[in-house]
Chains A and B, each alone.
Chain A
Amino acid sequence: MAGITAERISVIYGKRRVLREVSLEVAAGKTLVLFGPSGAGKSVLLRAIAGLEPNTQGLVRIAGADVSALGPERRGVGVAFQNFALYPHFSAFDNIASPLRAQGVVAGEIGRRVEKIAALLKIGHVLNQFPRELSNGQRQRTALARALVGEPKALLLDDPLRNVDAKLRYEMRLELPRLLRGFGAAVIYVTQDFREAMALGDEVAILAGGELLQLGTPETIYATPNNVAVARLFGDPPMNLLAVETETRGGETVAAIAGFRFRFVASAEAAGKALLGIRPDALALVPAGTRGAAPMTILADTPLHDRHVLLVRAKDGNELVVSSRVPATSDEVWVKPDVALLFAQASGLHMATAVQERAMA
């Protein structure tokens, strides 16, 4: 297929395997977000695909051709890094032109293409300046322009918005998808920011400890993380996870905690110790005594943008984070969940989703 295919990529440093048989595919014109905590192996995977990681095992195809044995400059990939990695002694123009010069493109053609991409990224007016004279945002756009100017079939972006301020990050988050769509390249985009992953990814790959934990659309991963590690990582504020003792009887598994009672379709695996996951935005403030709700005490309200992020304590001492559009009107509130997930405590695997809940009588 056109685009990027990585098959069973492993990277080993001495005795340490930093990447374990990761396989993924990105179609031309699509963006795959590589998401995970620091140390997960995201940048290593990107470097392996770019050909910058000498200890790589596995197969890399770009636009259908096996490039595993090729050097980075012959793979047809564009790369931008979070620290921008601009040549300090080159002007913005020469930085952007550098991949074209390496390919031996003629001078007139270089000028035309650099100016075109610079106009698209709104840095046409700073092409004669050196990196030290550019603002952080302009540096980041210059690095992006350099990655895009060769019109690569594969574009690898390593957390490119990490080092720019919040306002610029927001602007680029809006602008990037439109920009990338115009190029038709297959894009792999590394980030640790949940909202960036939601906004930019056609698909998201969750990486932790060098392993691919889940691959799917952002919506699927948010709604049904297949693993407690994914549930913990993907969301802001993250999913509440409570240790719970379940009981299985009469065709259902029941988890009672924090004043809630959840019923799951029974499975032998679900009996005993488990972790119950509830998204903060799946918890709502409701009138006192509402069926299925439980009373809680508010410890603090720590707003996030226009939402109220409430830290609440249940009668059994468990703490929960509630993300509400409306503020709480008193310190004692009633909270009602609308969906919950059950994870095996030992393996962390997702076992069941509660479809129905009842108040503890």
Chain B
Amino acid sequence: MLINYIRHDLEGVYTAELLRGSLSMLLAALILLNTEFTPTSPYILIVALYGLRSITRDSFFKRLGNICISLFLLIAVLVITTYLGQTHQYLLNLILTTTLSTLTVWALTVGNKFSGTVMFMSVFAIVNFGMGMLDVNHEINLLDLIFSSSIGGLCVLLSVIIVPIIGFHWCALINMCFYHDLKALCNTVIQAHDYGNFSNLTIKERNKIITYESSLIRTTEYVRQSTRKGLYKDLLNDLVLVICWPANHTDKNHLEHVNIIRKSTLSLILELLNQKNHIPTEHIENKILELEKLLNQNFNDSFCNGEMKTHLKRLINKVGDLIQWELINKYNLQDM
């Protein structure tokens, strides 16, 4: 579950938004509980809930400015439509609502960053018009409404100031995600029936392989340690090629050889990865040597010019380098 969560939010952007949203609501709830309840008090919660916009890649002050504009527009619509409702000005509200709805569709179509703001403006243009109409005794004072909404807006701004970052870095969890997907990928290929071409696999197997490979490549982009990133990249370059290595249009022998060497290498990778935390270095080296020997001495046929074997040897060596690098890192940390 955690792996799935990180895979969907590798940049930590949505986790940061989760924090900001909860914080904004927490502040609004605390204010509501500690102030006298008036007919406009609900707007503290409403603006705190709907006023928060997703933060894009602009600078912090620009982002703050965008949220201020967004809040101003939302509060303006709340006030105007409440007034239109109280005074029963149907035509004006109809024009405003239609304009805002059209703007919403346009903003969503072009992917405008104010699309969320415009959408809630059009929603509240209808809701608050109704609220204004129901407010027969004019209990909602427009100045109080502005005041309460501004407090809600303040909660939004405070949450943005307290959690100013766009996203979180998952550090070690990203590596956990990488190893999980790498093992899952190896397992999928090992369990698949023999194939001479990637298209010979079933849709389900192909989908799984592409999903894991894409996830591995994407995860690697978020690794910050340059050595680790380099090792991940090198390993993946060979791994993806080996998985889709073609063997059709040859003979039965070659097809069998390609599948055997592919599966035995991936099985060894899986074995090494499963024991990576408590595996002696000599054992890794011996296993790699054994496989290299096997590849060198066997599986020669008229279609084999050793290219796939070169990729496999490079791949298994990269996995060995990675595990050894991990072990060195681990012991260095323990010594410290």
Q: Do A and B share a complex?
A: no
Binding site for A on B (CB under 8 A): none
Binding site for B on A (CB under 8 A): none
